[in-house]
Amino acid sequence: MTITARVVHQVARPSGFPSADDFAFTEQQLAAPAPGEALVENLLLSVDPYHRELMDEAGLTSGAVSWGLGSPLEGRSIGRVLTSADPALAPGDLVYHRAGWRTHALVRADAVRVLPRYDGVPTTAFLSVLGGTGLTAWVALTRTLQLRPGTDLFVSAAAGGVGTAAGQLARLLGARRIIGSAGSPAKVERLVKELGFDEAFDYHDGPVSSLLAQAAPDGLDATVENVGGDHLEAAIGSLRPFGRIAWVGAVAQYHSLGSPPPAPRNLFDVVGKSLRLEGVMVRNHLDAQAELEDFAVPHIRSGALVPQETVVEGFENTVEAFLGMLRGRNTGKMIVRVGT
């Protein structure tokens, strides 16, 4: 038995912002699962900012999987097992895996996670607030920042997948004041009116350092940093002595053609203020998944924690969803729904 999978290949290295011409849709024939394998039909695909970094040749060492030209791309996915040659995976199981950007894949049991079924929790949540983005936010808050009740927090790119999860989780963890940056007035309004942020600003409205200083005139204790560049400089400037920075991403430099933005001009203030800046790589904290679910699932059921997702329908729109996410056309996690 063989099955025809539709697949997205990367066919060119982008020069600056990627375009649809950097990708191609093709087909791949998959044989029946060999011993230890299962055939899954992908239902949901994740497109993420880190994918842009991995598109560059220099980015091939940045992730767990190299992206060669003319081959299927890597990405977080949720699929349903169709047939299996491994007793650990049964037909009908929903599994979280990384063979994304395709409609079907052969996976091994030791490379997937069979998803639990929680009443009242949508499957999409396992790619958003219970997935890699939510886990990143949870680790940044609880392990890197060691957030305590009463903390004053800044979240950059607060309307994105990690940002919306970080803001809501921080509120539930007892943060005192939460400030976010976003890329449009509509997103700013949503952060404040729907997602529990005390204040937010559009980073297009002026120098980020000035905007953050106005929003937090008494300073901050901690920041979840998703942008880098001027946002990181602003965070350093507004942090109180002994403040903490959980550095998650640097979307400001992903399209910079190998010339990232200048380092923050106040970088030495990290020393002068005795700040702590620590990078967050979620793959080093997969053991925190159970902690996240124990905390988050009851809040999702109660409505206190709402998965923030922008869902694009249809595999044929995968590239469009990816490029739209890079342009900020999503609020929360960008997800492609392939099937049901």
pLDDT of residue 166: 97
Answer for the pair 25, 39: CB distance below 8 angstroms, yes or no: no
Which structure tokens are listed for 107? 């996976």
The pLDDT value given to residue 63: 46
Whether the per-residue pLDDT at 52 is higher than 90: the answer is: no
Taking only the tens place, the pLDDT of each residue in 118-177 is 999 999 999 999 999 999 999 999 999 999 999 999 999 999 999 999 999 999 999 999
User: What's the pLDDT score for residue 212?
Assistant: 97
Using 50, 70 and 90 to split pLDDT, how confident is the model at 62? very low
Which pLDDT score, from 0 to 100, does residue 17 have?
87
Please enumerate in sequence order all residues whose Cβ is within 8 A of that of 87, keeping only pairs 6 or more positions apart, or say none: none
Domain 132-283 bears CATH identifier 3.40.50.720: yes
Query: Where are the CATH 3.40.50.720 domain residues in the chain?
Result: 132-283
Residues of the chain within CATH 3.90.180.10 domain(s) are 2-127+308-337
Q: What is the pLDDT of residues 314-335, one digit of tens each?
A: 999 999 999 999 998 999 999 9
Which band of pLDDT confidence, cut at 50, 70 and 90, is reported for residue 298? very high
> What are 210-230's pLDDT values in tens digits?
999 999 999 999 999 999 889
Q: What is the pLDDT of residue 256?
A: 58
> Does domain 2-127+308-337 bear CATH number 3.90.180.10?
yes
Residue 162 tokens, joined: 């990690």
Q: In what order do the strands lie in the sheet with 177-182?
A: 199-202, 177-182, 152-155, 220-225, 239-247, 276-279
pLDDT confidence band for 76 (50 / 70 / 90): very high
